[in-house]
Amino acid sequence: MIKVITYGTFDLFHEGHYRLLQRAKALGDYLIVGVTTEAYDKTRGKLNVIDSLVTRIENIKKTGFADEIIIEETEGQKFNDIKRLGIDIFTVGSDWTGCFDYLNDYCKVVYLERTKNISSTMLREQNSHIQRIGIIGTGRIAGRFMPEAKLVSGISTQGVYNPHWDSAVRFADRWEIDAYADMEEFFAAVDVVYIASPHETHYGYIKVALEHGKHVLCEKPMVLERAQAEELFRCAKERGLILFEGIKTAYCPGFQKLLGIACSGSIGSIRNVEACFTKLEAADTRELTDRKYGGSFTELGSYCMLPILKLFGKEFQEIRFDSLNGENGLDLFTKVSLKYPNGIATATCGLGVKSEGRLLIAGTKGYIVAEAPWWKTAYFEVHHENPGDIQKYSEIFLGDGLRYEISDFLSMITGTEKNNFKLTRGESVALAGMMERFLGQAGR
């Protein structure tokens, strides 16, 4: 009996998939189809798959070509499957030609000609209206956003707005998009907005974007006052719009995994969270010269507060900020200490003091440690009393990681996935409240 195996996502099942399976079956006597899990697709950068794993499996079953269906969960699984299942032929479409030649050592590899003019990507784009995204602000983060946005299907970057025309044009030329200095023209040309302007301008831009009926993805810290955050979320809700704070860590798969394990009971009840992020900055950067809104806490506090809010919640009993300030009064180093009914936490941020950037979560049975850059969570360890008892976890973190938040933002707009648990509105409001307290205490 000749055993054949093929793999794919098979999202929005189409004729190309049908013909591929038909010809794969014809290559032998027994066809095994490997279907990718959502988690695996996310780790390999395939974002915005629409059909659930169950639906995708059902669609393959309906063709009647598959004798067996397995799921593909990890990279490197194909080799093991081929050995384990005694496969004679591995086959995929010709878009993969050459990619699997290494499997020739274990079985025959056949690339079947891909059916022309059809793909899941094409169907996803036809089914959902492509969201034209406009960027407000042209700083470093906006430059990092551009290549990441290209990787998410369902959006296209349309243009950039900056009241300073020269900056808008420079950015637009660099990324081959349109430049706008007129806000009305800008809003008329886009469906959704990404705000990457200086912190203190976020509130005004979000408000006007919502008033123009645009969904908003805003860089952290979204706003610097609790009442502003509440007002903006209310405004978004009334208009049926999504307002989304872009703290990229919240959306990255490794951080989701870390939170899941922290809350699974494997380290017992959580009693202490320590999060530290320091980044030495040159003295002339905006972060160290903007006397009102610069400094380490407004810049990095959102990252460090995130695991604390996620694990201990928004209702702390006590909070205390200790800062070391530079000559211009801006905090070069800030330590926030929080007391909760059953735990304590510290968030440490530095722009002028370097420290070990670590996330440590201590529980009654063990602890989790993620080293820098834990805010781009790719690896962490779970330790117990016995020093030899260490579980190591890794998760892919691709590129700058903004693709995960962009993808989640988009799926909230299209309603295909509910992602607001990753950073709730309440958590964003709490973060704004924290910024307000800090700035108030710093006398700014």
16 binds ligand CTP (CB under 6 A): yes
Q: Which stretch binds ligand CTP (CB under 6 A): 64-72, 89-97, 169-177, 191-199?
A: 89-97
Residue in 17, 202, 215, 248 binding ligand CTP, rule: CB under 6 A: 17
119 binds ligand CTP (CB under 6 A): yes
- Cβ 105 to ligand CTP, closest distance in Å? 21
- Site residues (CB under 6 A) for ligand CTP, limited to 211-270: none
Residue in 55, 121, 337, 424 binding ligand CTP, rule: CB under 6 A: 121
Alpha-carbon distances, residue 423 vs 226, 247, 276, 296, 405 (angstroms) = 16, 8, 19, 22, 10
Instruction: Show Cβ contacts of residue 278 under 8 Å, excluding neighbours closer than 6 positions.
Output: 296, 300, 333, 348, 349, 350, 351, 353, 354, 355, 357
Residue in 45, 85, 103, 114 binding ligand CTP, rule: CB under 6 A: 114
- Site residues (CB under 6 A) for ligand CTP, limited to 18-37: 20
- Cβ 101 to ligand CTP, closest distance in Å? 15
- Cβ 256 to ligand CTP, closest distance in Å? 22
120 binds ligand CTP (CB under 6 A): yes
115 binds ligand CTP (CB under 6 A): yes
CB closest to ligand CTP, residue no = 93
Q: Which stretch binds ligand CTP (CB under 6 A): 87-95, 127-135, 297-305, 409-417?
A: 87-95
- Cβ 122 to ligand CTP, closest distance in Å? 7
95 binds ligand CTP (CB under 6 A): yes
Euclidean distance between CA atoms 123 and 2, whole angstroms: 34
- Nearer to ligand CTP (CB atom), residue 262 or residue 406: 406
- Nearer to ligand CTP (CB atom), residue 99 or residue 227: 99
- Cβ 57 to ligand CTP, closest distance in Å? 13
Q: How many residues in the shown chain lie near ligand CTP by CB under 6 A?
A: 17
9 binds ligand CTP (CB under 6 A): yes
- Cβ 145 to ligand CTP, closest distance in Å? 23
- Cβ 119 to ligand CTP, closest distance in Å? 4
- Cβ 115 to ligand CTP, closest distance in Å? 4
Q: Which stretch binds ligand CTP (CB under 6 A): 3-11, 172-180, 196-204, 221-229?
A: 3-11
Residue in 39, 69, 85, 118 binding ligand CTP, rule: CB under 6 A: 118
- Site residues (CB under 6 A) for ligand CTP, limited to 270-299: none
92 binds ligand CTP (CB under 6 A): yes
Q: Which residues are at the interface with ligand CTP (CB under 6 A)? A: 8-11, 16-17, 20, 92-93, 95-96, 114-115, 118-121
